[in-house]
A and B are shown apart, each in its own frame.
Chain A
C-alpha cells in the first residue's frame, strides 16, 4: 500500500501547507538518503521478542564477518512486537532485515508471501529442509511455495501434572505410571472423571487449552488449503468441541483463562491437576508455583493422541530489506543446530533442528524442580511425535484466539455448548470475511 499512500501523503501536505513549510521540506531530503552509500560495510537489523538467546551469538557472528554490524532490537513481549512489525510491513519500511515471527502469528503473514523473500531462493544453498523437523519446516511454507522463515525454536507438548494431588486422589502418580492416563483424549477425560470424583477439584485449567491442543492435531484446521473457512464442514472440530465441553460440564475444567492472574496463582494453589505442557511451560510453572512447591509438579513424556506443538518462532527476511542475501545468511547461521544449542544453553529456547535435538548438551540436561527429570531428552522425544504440519490459512490464529477460545470460556461461564458453538462459528465467519 505504500506507494499509493506516499503519493497521497505528499499531495495532502502540498495542498494544505503550500509555501509555509519550507523548513520542513529541507529536513525531508536530508534524512532519507543515509543508507545508499556503496560502502562495503553493511548494517543488518535483527528484531526479536522475549528471549531468543542470541546476544552472544551476534557478537560471534560480527567477529566472523568484519564488514557486518548487527543492530539487535529486542522487544519484551510478543504482542507489541508483532503489532509494530505489522505496522512496518503495512507502512512499507522499517521492518528488520531479519524479523522474527512467532508461530501463532504465522497465519497473519503466510497469505502475504509477496512481502517476504523466499529463503529457498536467496538463502545459502547448503541450508535445506533436512536441517529441521519436517513439520516445523513445512509450517513456514506459503501456498505459492515461498519459505517465509527459518525455524528457530519449538514448544513440543508433554503433560505436566501435580504428583501430590494425583496421589491424594488414589491415582497413579509416578511419571512412568501416569502415561496410560495421557495416552488418548478419551483416557485423559476418563482419568479426569476419576480425579473429579475423588477430589471434587478440577482436572485441567481451561476448556480452550485442551481444545486448542486437539484442534492442532487435526489434518485440516479451521481454514482449508483453498483458504476457505471450513469450521462447520470439518466434522472433527465439532466432535472435539462436544468432547471438551462435556468434560468441562462434568467439572473437569478450572475455568481459568491461560495467563490470567487467577491462572497464575492456580499453579500454586492446585486449582488444576494437569497442564498441557510445552517445553517453555516448565519455566512458567516453576515461577508461578514457587519454591515451596518444588517436587510437587512433574512432567511425563506422554501426550494424548500423539504429540503437538505450542509456540516457537521463525526468522524471516522481509522484501523491504536492502541486504536480503546477507540477512538470509545471518538467519541461516543463527538457526543452524550449533547456534541453536548455544541459544538453548543461554535461555532455554528448545531447538527445532534435527541435529540439535540429538546433541549431548541437550539430552543431558536435567530439571531439579521437576524431580530431576531429564527434560531435554523428554522434550526431544516429544518433538518427534508431532504430526505433519497443519496448513494454517489466513485468520487461523485469530480464530483460535478470538473465536473458539472466548466461546469455550463462555460455555464455562454458563452458556450452553450449542450456543457457544454458534458464537464460535459466527465469530470465525466475521474473521474470515
Chain B
C-alpha cells in the first residue's frame, strides 16, 4: 500500500496551479509521511497480536496473583500481597530458584562459548557446508519421547551408560538422579545438547555477514587468527551476541522441558525425590495445575519475571563490555 503512496502519478498533481517554491511538493510530503508512518506500520503486527493473545494472559496473571484463587474456582478472595510474602518464606521456592540458577549457569556459559567456537569452525571453507549447518540443528528435531528415553538410559543410576563407562575407567559411579549437583550437570548437558546447535547457527549467520575486507585488512596488519577473532570478529558480532546472551538467559531461567524429561517418574514436576532439580517453572506449573493454587502460581510467575529481568540486564551490560568497541551498528 505504501507503493501507491510513493508513486507520483496522483491526478491532482499536474493540473494544480503552480505553487510557491517554498512549499513541499505532494511527493515530498508523501515521502515524509511515509517516513513517519512506516515504522509504526511495520512494528504494529507484533503489538496487535500481542494485544490479542499476549496481553490478556499477562494482566490475568498479575491480577490473579493478588488473590487466593484455586484453579477451578469461579472467583478468588482478594488477599493483596499475601502470596508474595508467603513466597518469601517458602523454602521450596528458594530451593527451586537456586536449582534454576545453577542449571542456568552450567548450561548457558558453555553453550555460548561452544556455539561461538563451533560457528567459527563452520565458517571455514567446508565441503558440504549445508549438511553441517543443518546437522547442528538435528537435536532440536528429535522427538522428546526419544530424547527422554535416551538421556534416561545415559544417566541411569544403576545401569546407565555413563556410569558403566565410569566404572570401566575405575571411577565411582555418580548418582545422577539424587545427587543435587550431579543432577544439575546432567540436565545442563541435556540443555546444551539440545540448544547449542541453535545458537551456533545464529552466530554463524552473523559471522557470515562480516565484510571480508575487514578481515583481510587485519591479515595485512599481521594479526594472528586468535587476535583477529577477538579484536575484529567478536566486536562486530556484538548485536548478535547480545541476542544470544539475552535469549539464553531468559530461556535458561525458564527451563522447564529438560528437567521434566529428566525426572525418573514420567511426567512428574517434582524435580526428583527431594526437589533437587525442580526449577522455578516446574514449581510454578506444579503449584498451578497440580496443587491448583492459581494465585500462588501467578505470584511465582511474577517473581521469576523480576529475577529474569535482573539477570538479563546484568548480562546485557556484561556482553556490551566484553564485545565493546564494536560500534558498527551506529
Task: Please name all residues of chain B whose beta carbon is closer than 8 Å to the beta carbon of A415 when the two chains form the complex.
Answer: 274
Q: In the complex, A337→B19 CA distance in Å?
A: 93
For the complex formed, measure the closest distance between the CB of A110 and the CB atoms of chain B, giving whole angstroms.
Answer: 11
Q: Identify which of A258, A265, A402 gathers the most chain B CB atoms within 10 Å of its CB.
A: A402
Residue ID in chain B nearest A269 by CB atoms = B159
Task: Please name all residues of chain A whose beta carbon is closer than 8 Å to the beta carbon of B71 when the two chains form the complex.
Answer: 86, 90
Residue ID in chain B nearest A3 by CB atoms = B74
Task: Please name all residues of chain B whose beta carbon is closer than 8 Å to the beta carbon of A427 when the two chains form the complex.
Answer: 92
Q: In the complex, A430→B156 CA distance in Å?
A: 30
Chain A contacts with B in 70-121, Cβ cutoff 8 A:
77, 79, 83, 86, 89-90, 108-109, 112, 114-115
Evaluate contact between A261 and B270: CB separation under 8 angstroms.
Answer: no
Judge if A168 is at the interface, Cβ distance under 8 Å. Answer: no
Judge if A239 is at the interface, Cβ distance under 8 Å. Answer: no
Task: From the candidates A261, A401, A423, name the one contacting B156 in the complex (CB within 8 A).
Answer: A261
Known contacts: A8-B59, A8-B63. The answer to whether A430 contacts B52 by CB under 8 A is no
Residue ID in chain B nearest A2 by CB atoms = B74
What sequence of 0s and 1s flags, for each residue 58-75 of chain B, a beta carbon within 8 Å of any chain A beta carbon? Answer: 011001000001011111
Task: Please name all residues of chain B whose beta carbon is closer than 8 Å to the beta carbon of A5 when the two chains form the complex.
Answer: 60
Residue ID in chain B nearest A83 by CB atoms = B289
Judge if B291 is at the interface, Cβ distance under 8 Å. Answer: yes
Evaluate contact between B267 and A79: CB separation under 8 angstroms.
Answer: yes
* Total count of chain A residues near the partner, CB < 8 A: 49
Task: Please name all residues of chain A whose beta carbon is closer than 8 Å to the beta carbon of B294 when the two chains form the complex.
Answer: 90
Task: Please name all residues of chain A whose beta carbon is closer than 8 Å to the beta carbon of B152 when the two chains form the complex.
Answer: 260-261
Task: From the candidates B51, B75, B291, name the one contacting A16 in the complex (CB within 8 A).
Answer: B51
Evaluate contact between B60 and A115: CB separation under 8 angstroms.
Answer: no
Residue ID in chain B nearest A87 by CB atoms = B289
Task: Please name all residues of chain B whose beta carbon is closer than 8 Å to the beta carbon of A77 when the two chains form the complex.
Answer: 267
What sequence of 0s and 1s flags, for each residue 38-82 of chain A, a beta carbon within 8 Å of any chain B beta carbon? Answer: 000000000000000000000000000000000000000101000
Task: Please name all residues of chain A whose beta carbon is closer than 8 Å to the beta carbon of B37 when the two chains form the complex.
Answer: none
Evaluate contact between B72 and A8: CB separation under 8 angstroms.
Answer: no
- Chain B residues touching A, range: 35 or more
Stretch at the interface among A17-25, A189-197, A324-332, A339-347: A17-25
Judge if B210 is at the interface, Cβ distance under 8 Å. Answer: no
Judge if B265 is at the interface, Cβ distance under 8 Å. Answer: yes
Evaluate contact between B265 and A260: CB separation under 8 angstroms.
Answer: yes
Evaluate contact between A13 and B51: CB separation under 8 angstroms.
Answer: yes
Known contacts: A4-B75, A5-B60, A409-B273. The answer to whether A261 contacts B149 by CB under 8 A is yes
Known contacts: A90-B72, A415-B274, A423-B274. The answer to whether A12 contacts B264 by CB under 8 A is no
Task: Please name all residues of chain A whose beta carbon is closer than 8 Å to the beta carbon of B158 when the two chains form the complex.
Answer: 262
Task: Please name all residues of chain B whose beta carbon is closer than 8 Å to the beta carbon of A108 when the two chains form the complex.
Answer: 292
Evaluate contact between B159 and A433: CB separation under 8 angstroms.
Answer: no
Task: Please name all residues of chain A whose beta carbon is closer than 8 Å to the beta carbon of B48 when the two chains form the complex.
Answer: 17, 20-21
Task: Please name all residues of chain A whose beta carbon is closer than 8 Å to the beta carbon of B73 when the two chains form the complex.
Answer: 1, 112
Task: Please name all residues of chain B whose beta carbon is closer than 8 Å to the beta carbon of A114 when the two chains form the complex.
Answer: 74
Q: Identify which of A261, A262, A395, A423 gathers the most chain B CB atoms within 10 Å of its CB.
A: A261
Chain B interface mostly helix, strand, loop or mixed? loop
Judge if B31 is at the interface, Cβ distance under 8 Å. Answer: no
Evaluate contact between A430 and B92: CB separation under 8 angstroms.
Answer: yes
Task: From the candidates B59, B72, B274, name the one contacting A109 in the complex (CB within 8 A).
Answer: B72
Residue ID in chain A nearest B175 by CB atoms = A413
Residue ID in chain A nearest B151 by CB atoms = A261
Q: How many A-B residue pairs have CB under 8 A?
A: 106
Task: From the candidates A20, A24, A265, A431, name the one contacting B291 in the complex (CB within 8 A).
Answer: A431
Q: In the complex, A412→B272 CA distance in Å?
A: 13
Chain A contacts with B in 253-275, Cβ cutoff 8 A:
257-262, 265
Judge if A159 is at the interface, Cβ distance under 8 Å. Answer: no
What sequence of 0s and 1s flags, for each residue 346-372 of chain A, a beta carbon within 8 Å of any chain B beta carbon? Answer: 000000000000000000000000000
Residue ID in chain B nearest A403 by CB atoms = B270
Q: In the complex, A280→B246 CA distance in Å?
A: 48
Known contacts: A12-B56, A398-B290, A402-B290. The answer to whether A257 contacts B264 by CB under 8 A is yes
Evaluate contact between A258 and B265: CB separation under 8 angstroms.
Answer: yes
Q: In the complex, A207→B64 CA distance in Å?
A: 39
For the complex formed, measure the closest distance between the CB of B112 and the CB atoms of chain A, giving whole angstroms.
Answer: 31
Evaluate contact between B56 and A413: CB separation under 8 angstroms.
Answer: no
Evaluate contact between A265 and B159: CB separation under 8 angstroms.
Answer: yes
Task: Please name all residues of chain A whose beta carbon is closer than 8 Å to the beta carbon of B273 when the two chains form the complex.
Answer: 406-407, 409-410, 412-413
For the complex formed, measure the closest distance between the CB of A416 and the CB atoms of chain B, giving whole angstroms.
Answer: 13
Task: Please name all residues of chain B whose beta carbon is closer than 8 Å to the beta carbon of A20 when the two chains form the complex.
Answer: 44, 48
What sequence of 0s and 1s flags, for each residue 264-283 of chain B, a beta carbon within 8 Å of any chain A beta carbon? Answer: 11111110111100000000
Task: Please name all residues of chain B whose beta carbon is closer than 8 Å to the beta carbon of A407 when the two chains form the complex.
Answer: 273
Residue ID in chain A nearest B269 by CB atoms = A402
Chain A contacts with B in 404-433, Cβ cutoff 8 A:
406-407, 409-410, 412-415, 423, 427, 430-431, 433
Evaluate contact between B72 and A402: CB separation under 8 angstroms.
Answer: no
Task: Please name all residues of chain A whose beta carbon is closer than 8 Å to the beta carbon of B90 when the two chains form the complex.
Answer: 430
Task: Please name all residues of chain A whose beta carbon is closer than 8 Å to the beta carbon of B63 when the two chains form the complex.
Answer: 8
Judge if B178 is at the interface, Cβ distance under 8 Å. Answer: yes
What sequence of 0s and 1s flags, for each residue 380-397 of chain A, a beta carbon within 8 Å of any chain B beta carbon? Answer: 000000000000000100
Evaluate contact between B291 and A259: CB separation under 8 angstroms.
Answer: no
Evaluate contact between A1 and B265: CB separation under 8 angstroms.
Answer: no
Residue ID in chain A nearest B155 by CB atoms = A261
Residue ID in chain B nearest A257 by CB atoms = B264
Residue ID in chain A nearest B264 by CB atoms = A260
Judge if B315 is at the interface, Cβ distance under 8 Å. Answer: no
Known contacts: A21-B48, A430-B92. The answer to whether A259 contacts B266 by CB under 8 A is yes
Q: In the complex, A238→B63 CA distance in Å?
A: 40
Task: From the candidates B75, B76, B157, B293, name the one contacting A433 in the complex (CB within 8 A).
Answer: B293
Q: In the complex, A5→B74 CA distance in Å?
A: 10
Q: In the complex, A108→B48 CA distance in Å?
A: 37
**B interface vs A, CB < 8 Å?**
44, 48, 51-52, 55-56, 59-60, 63, 69, 71-76, 90, 92, 149, 152-153, 156-159, 175, 178, 264-270, 272-275, 286, 289-294
Given contacts A86-B289, A86-B292, A261-B149, 18 further A-B contacts (CB under 8 A): A3-B74, A8-B63, A12-B51, A17-B52, A21-B48, A21-B51, A77-B267, A258-B265, A259-B265, A260-B152, A261-B156, A262-B264, A402-B286, A406-B270, A406-B272, A409-B273, A413-B178, A423-B274
Q: List 23 A-B contacts (CB under 8 A).
A: A1-B75, A5-B60, A13-B56, A16-B55, A17-B52, A21-B52, A79-B267, A86-B292, A90-B294, A115-B72, A257-B264, A260-B266, A262-B156, A262-B157, A262-B158, A262-B264, A395-B291, A406-B273, A406-B275, A412-B273, A427-B92, A430-B90, A431-B291
Q: Which 8 A-B pairs have the closest CB atoms?
A: A409-B273, A260-B264, A16-B51, A410-B273, A79-B267, A261-B152, A413-B178, A406-B273
